[in-house]
Structure 1
């Protein structure tokens, strides 16, 4: 009994020491700086995606898709584009580490840790895509193609249709959480304005409200496409970001709906820059 009690105390101490180490690492100046760079990198990508979506709405996409692949290709073609992408990859890699620390080692609400874990996973995948592209191992694959491939693989599993449907429900849940977070302005709890003027605070809050809500709407729509793919047993129904954005132009509002959503994506990108500047520890 004494040995068991001692082992439990040792385990609790080890867990506590791990949490303290996680907090110290997450709040270290170098990592916080690089994580801020990661938010800015994420903002650049979403600004580019929003720009491509606006071009699609006005009938001139330049042959690029409004998703990560199209954004990376467009950025790479600019002056010093490859250098910019290396900086973007470094920032997103640091943001991945920071969010993973918050999810695994820093004690906080379960919902906040889950959100940090989801963001760490998303940033890790995007970082891998950028590095693969920079190393000359092929152009980044469109997210529509990735969504269809993932759906086909999942459907080949036992009860695959149910798995795809659950993935769709999970994505809808994340999107719904984002919409709630944007509409209720809950995101302001994660910001520390540190002497910013009232006008700046107001601008940041409105940008975050519109941007985060739009991001949630886009995610929810993507989740709905996964459920449609499961219902029809057709992986082609699954859509990535480009397909989701284009679907808004097929609504009754036509291209005006896509313009509105694209503008919201641009605002989400702008809010990522605000996170880089004012994100709370």
Structure 2
């Protein structure tokens, strides 16, 4: 009679798999590709900031990630560039996923370490979505639209969908508040190793990160508010993601100036991403 593997064998196998995943995620090629992915996110934020300013000036552009990827696809070598972005985003997903389990040994406390791991898990999902969007845009040669409204409609169609959508909206608003708080207090600098950077680079990282995180937080807060409104009114088309949020800002008193300021802030986050790509602790 052949006995099955005991608990010790299973534990050893699991440890070996985990160690292999860590080795791959921390390998030089993946670290380089992850930095490329962070820089690619900077390109997207620069484009979104530019599109937001165009919307403020009366353009009908799609001011979100899909619109930015569509702008890249419209260039002569845009589709090839999109596949480069897909590779970078995928590398960030692998790195962030592994970091969410084993990373952030440099954190000052166990609580901070767990918080950073939770954020890393969320960012793995965000970059996975970006990878899928970039791949889809590269295949189609154009941006998709209406995804936010369709997703909201799907949530509202579930049993208890209005409550679920409202809770998601509240969660997004809370998350945006954390983003603004982290930006104001420059918490993002803890994830960078600026010890060898010139003073000017340190100031650039601090200022662009601070402005960028606050601007993104404000824009994301509007996304959460629109989700809550969609839940209360049962109109999913009112919550079509970042594009709807930015266009809602434009409709407010002094909205043109507010949207230009937010667009410039989002572009600042793009500049921060370029600095972050160089100095982030990708370990």
Question: 1:216 and 1:121 mapped to 2: Cα distance?
Answer: 18
Tell whether 2:126 aligns with 1:122.
yes
Question: 1:81 and 1:166 mapped to 2: Cα distance?
Answer: 38
CA 1:107–1:54 in 2, change beyond 3 Å: closer, same or farther? closer
109-118 or 258-267: bigger deviation: 109-118
Paired residue for 1:64? 61
Correspondence list, 1:7-86, <5 A: 7=7, 20-59=19-58, 61=59, 63-86=60-83
Tell whether 2:105 aligns with 1:113.
no
109-118 or 184-193: bigger deviation: 109-118
Paired residue for 1:233? 234
Contact 1:22 1:102 in 2 (8 A): no
Give the counterpart of 1:100 among 97, 101, 105.
Answer: 97
What is the Cα deviation at residue 212 of structure 1?
A: 1.1
What is the Cα deviation at residue 262 of structure 1?
A: 0.3
Paired residue for 2:258? 257
5+ unaligned residues in a row in structure 1: which ranges? 1-5
Q: What secondary structure, in the 3-state scheme, does the structure 2 residue paired with 1:135 have?
A: helix
CA 1:277–1:157 in 2, change beyond 3 Å: closer, same or farther? same
CA 1:209–1:15 in 2, change beyond 3 Å: closer, same or farther? farther
Contact 1:172 1:224 in 2 (8 A): yes
Question: 2:9 and 2:117 mapped to 1: Cα distance?
Answer: 24
Question: 1:196 and 1:147 mapped to 2: Cα distance?
Answer: 40
Count of aligned pairs between the two proteins: 270
Paired residue for 1:209? 210
What is the Cα deviation at residue 163 of structure 1?
A: 0.7
CA 1:52–1:104 in 2, change beyond 3 Å: closer, same or farther? same
Question: 2:117 and 2:217 mapped to 1: Cα distance?
Answer: 18
Question: 1:80 and 1:269 mapped to 2: Cα distance?
Answer: 21
CA 1:146–1:246 in 2, change beyond 3 Å: closer, same or farther? same
Contact 1:19 1:107 in 2 (8 A): no
Q: Using structure 2 for the length normalisation, give the TM-score.
A: 0.88
Q: Using structure 1 for the length normalisation, give the TM-score.
A: 0.88
Contact 1:66 1:242 in 2 (8 A): yes
What is the Cα deviation at residue 11 of structure 1?
A: 6.9
Paired residue for 1:158? 159
Contact 1:35 1:91 in 2 (8 A): yes
Contact 2:73 2:138 in 1 (8 A): no
Deviations 1:10-35 (A, max 9, x none): 77766665665454333321111000
77-86 or 174-183: bigger deviation: 77-86
Contact 2:70 2:137 in 1 (8 A): no
Contact 2:155 2:161 in 1 (8 A): yes
Tell whether 2:138 aligns with 1:141.
no
User: Alignment RMSD, CA only?
Assistant: 2.1
Contact 1:172 1:219 in 2 (8 A): yes
